[in-house]
Structure 1
Amino acid sequence: MDEPSAEQWIASFAEAVGAEAPDEGRIAELLKLAAIAAHSSERIAAPIACWIAGANGVDIERAIEVAEGLGEG
């Protein structure tokens, strides 16, 4: 059996945990936040930054803005 695509895996995971899967725009924003975090620090910062933002209800645009500011410092 072939591996599912990232989109299929994300949709299946979201359904399994009772959540709505992100649309393409939201995925792009999350990847932007992850990229900023990973390139400003170590790779581990990417998923943790996304988790912090999501778990605490931080607007993704605000999270990106903060991450960009930290990357400049």
Structure 2
Amino acid sequence: MPATVDARGLSCPQPVIMTLNEIKNGKETDIIVLVDTDTSRENVTRAAESQGCNISDVSPEGEGYRITIRKR
């Protein structure tokens, strides 16, 4: 089951920090990140890719986005 990072309602850099912490410390291979701004979506995606992760999906969800990250 994927780990979930719910960063809705938080402004950058909080969503990025939460995502990087889950990438580094989490045990799950797949991580779902929920954000509610375009800026957070772009920053989280870029940060995950900089850590060698693949972005397998970015889709609208409610008033925000659901980002699915796969750790290598």
TM-score under structure 2 length normalisation: 0.28
Tell me which protein shows more strand as a share of its residues: 2
TM-score under structure 1 length normalisation: 0.28
Tell me which protein shows more helix as a share of its residues: 1
The one of the two structures with greater contact order (alpha-carbon pairs below 8 A, sep at least 6) is 2
